[in-house]
Amino acid sequence: MDSRLHNLQGKAKLVKSTEMLERLREFYRDKLIERARHVANARVVADYDFNNTYQYVIAREDMHLRWLGDAVVDLGGELDDSVPHEADPTGRGDAVQRAALERDRDGAQRVIDKWRSRIDSLPNARHRTRVNVILGETLEHKRFFDLALAGRTDLLGRRADGAGTGGGVMGSRWVGDITK
In angstroms, the Cα distances linking 84 to 80, 90, 94, 98 are 11, 18, 27, 23
Please name the fold of domain 14-149: Ferritin (1.20.1260)
Question: Would you state the pLDDT for residue 153?
Answer: 78
Question: Would you state the pLDDT for residue 161?
Answer: 54
Answer whether 140's CB lies under 8 Å from 149's CB: no
In angstroms, the Cα distances linking 97 to 29, 126, 158 are 25, 38, 21
Q: For residues 58 and 76, give the distance between their C-alpha atoms in angstroms, rounded to a whole number.
A: 27
CA angle 50/143/81 to nearest 5° reads 75
Report pLDDT digits (tens) over 129-172: 999 999 999 999 999 999 999 987 766 555 545 545 555 544 54
Closest by alpha carbon to 57, among 81, 82, 40, 73?
A: 40
Question: Would you state the pLDDT for residue 8?
Answer: 46
- Reading the chain (180 residues) residue by residue, the pLDDT tens digits are 555 544 444 444 444 688 889 999 999 999 999 999 999 999 888 888 888 899 999 999 999 999 999 999 999 999 999 988 777 777 777 899 999 999 999 999 999 999 999 988 888 899 999 999 999 999 999 999 999 999 877 665 555 455 455 555 445 444 444 444
CA angle 87/113/150 to nearest 5° reads 65
